[in-house]
Chain A
């Protein structure tokens, strides 16, 4: 085991930090905080292009697909830094969709999609959930039927974040309605501007936008199907593990705990300081100890990925732990400020860095999103400890 970055890894982290210092301004951070994941427009798009020019969206891919062929640990370091500084970095297109194409795609799939993803030109909305297929994803009903050399798609997706800014839909569809539910699913890449797609906004508690998206006789070339037909379930369950690893990178949690520690030293409007309360100090220490574990879990998952596997139990544990930690961070961040904690971050009387109410509203998402923690606990018990399934 090695807990310290080696010289090359340290140099890499410095390179990433220098890039962010130069290109990610406080104004961009404000914009990013306002728009959340809707990061593909205006100046944020320019920033994204700069990241693409560095080749950092494909940094751990083979060179033949436009990548830099650096290992998962390098990706981990980069994502951590981006998250810490609040910069929009590699998203699910890069951390989940692309690895899945690389693992399972046909040669045509790889040549067609990977280089533009690496350049930052293609971003995908991930079309998995449907109104009646959430945690029970395999019950999805959006269907694709072959008509000559084209797939014809009909159905509806929900929680389809970024669909209104993405270039493509990474779409999970049913291609064999007769087969058992896990064996009739395929994945198809759909350009978002294809006729027949309608996107309607859904505004979430954290103030950001997600979407419901309707597909009516949407036609795409047959070659847009990823890998083999009816093998999609295996692909996406593998990708969900990768997604979990990426979603739960603890860089932003590390930042949030740092901000809590800073805010605890500031004087509230009632003249007291949170850090003078021993119970608050005790809870801050717990958050510090826990965020350290979240960081270590991320480092371990990256180390395991480096050996070529999908570390299912490690990333599942990490996802559960860090998403529940996120809620505890937001909870203390608001509580310790007294009623100052309910002020919007933008209120002139808000404690500097005291916008924990925003985190409080955004934190629930990651506890049920990317796999509900209840199901993920089953995954740890069943795949990590061989406990029996019960017909889920």
Chain B
């Protein structure tokens, strides 16, 4: 047990912080959220690929660095600080899902391209509002030597621009019992209709509707275990929690910077005890989120499904990020309320991530099951 970062981990975080500060300024974030934007930061993408970010947790046989999920968590934390466009998270999440669920051939087909920065992808595993609900949103019928998929998926992250989408489906192949399969979808194929959703945060989510979409066996991730699927869903939540911790920390820092220079009654408002207590409360909440998120991503990195740790991390991260932004608005007053100051960009991301995967109430339900208090 040793809850401090290693020298290597610290260096990685520092490198990433500089990289995102340079390549992902608020102006880019703002541009990506505009209604006309496709949400793909082309130059940032190249920079990230060049720095090896897409391959950090990918095995070296696919061109990656072979570091663990924990290190990928450090990437999410630094990306979260800078409000990195979500297409990056979704592509990284796809790699995590495929590495756990895919066959060697499937991994070899996608991961090297992804590592090189040449693939935009996303994963939609289970209920986007409750990560522990793994019931597939699609059904798949055996048809000859392939599959026919139908159904609707809501809130697929960057579903309108992804070049491949990893989904799950309830598979019927008479006379075998029903089972869950994974499928790698090609959005360009017939039978798949993508509708971009308009969200208040301007992040890119899509509704995907399938009518007799045809998939081959080579595109199917067969017989993933319940634990495999739960691990993937939990890994995506835990990585998002790391992102949220990074975002909350950035908000805390910019808020402290502001109250130190904002003067009222001839003194900086940072010198008022009420302001200091707001800051202390933000810091304490973020500490809890930071430690619990790191714990979750660490156990997942060890292969553990980590249901308890993930529930705890999501409970803390959801509330800490949201309340940090809301308290930041209070401390900024009007200066944080106008759109030209950037605070609202974090506030919007905090609200989306609070709900995505499950609110604190939803995650508390997972924890109640772990404690044997609920089914």
What residues make up the interface of A, taking CB atoms closer than 8 Å to B? 1-6, 9, 73, 261, 264, 275, 281-282, 284-286, 288-290, 292-293, 296-297, 299-300, 303-304, 306-307, 313-314, 317, 320-321, 374, 376-378, 380-382, 384-390
The smallest beta-carbon distance between B36 and chain A, in angstroms, is 39
**A212 CA / B1 CA spacing, docked (Å):** 42
B26 beta carbon closer than 8 Å to chain A: no
A5 touches B256 (CB 8 A): no
What residues make up the interface of B, taking CB atoms closer than 8 Å to A? 1-6, 9, 70, 252, 256, 259-260, 268, 270-273, 275-277, 279-281, 283-284, 287-288, 291-292, 294-295, 298-299, 302, 311-312, 315-316, 361, 364-365, 367-368, 371, 373-374
A285 touches B281 (CB 8 A): no
Main DSSP-derived SS at the B contact region? helix
18 pairs from A and B in contact (CB 8 Å cutoff): A1-B3, A1-B5, A1-B70, A3-B1, A289-B315, A289-B364, A296-B3, A304-B4, A380-B279, A381-B270, A381-B280, A385-B252, A385-B283, A386-B260, A387-B256, A387-B270, A387-B279, A390-B271
B9 touches A292 (CB 8 A): no
- With A285-B364, A285-B371, A296-B291 known as contacts, the answer to whether A2 contacts B277 (CB < 8 A) is no
The smallest beta-carbon distance between B16 and chain A, in angstroms, is 16
B291 touches A281 (CB 8 A): no
B312 touches A288 (CB 8 A): yes
A378 touches B280 (CB 8 A): yes
**A286 CA / B315 CA spacing, docked (Å):** 8
Taking a contact as CB atoms closer than 8 A, the residue among A73, A281, A285, A289 that contacts B2 in the complex is A73
Residue of B nearest to A73 (CB): B1
A381 touches B277 (CB 8 A): yes
**A322 CA / B232 CA spacing, docked (Å):** 32
The smallest beta-carbon distance between B265 and chain A, in angstroms, is 12
A296 touches B295 (CB 8 A): yes
Residue of A nearest to B291 (CB): A296
Taking a contact as CB atoms closer than 8 A, the residue among A284, A303, A307, A390 that contacts B373 in the complex is A284
Q: Which residues of B contact A2 (CB under 8 A)?
A: 1-3, 298
A293 touches B312 (CB 8 A): yes
B4 touches A1 (CB 8 A): yes
Q: Which residues of B contact A384 (CB under 8 A)?
A: 280, 283
Task: Give the one of B3, B5, B294, B302 with max A CB within 10 A.
Answer: B3
Q: Which residues of A contact B371 (CB under 8 A)?
A: 261, 284-285, 288
B2 touches A380 (CB 8 A): no
**A304 CA / B291 CA spacing, docked (Å):** 14
A296 touches B364 (CB 8 A): no
Task: Give the one of B2, B260, B371 with max A CB within 10 A.
Answer: B2
Q: Which residues of A contact B294 (CB under 8 A)?
A: 1, 3
- With A1-B70, A378-B276, A390-B271 known as contacts, the answer to whether A286 contacts B284 (CB < 8 A) is no
A292 touches B292 (CB 8 A): yes
Q: Which residues of A contact B252 (CB under 8 A)?
A: 385
Taking a contact as CB atoms closer than 8 A, the residue among B259, B268, B367 that contacts A288 in the complex is B367
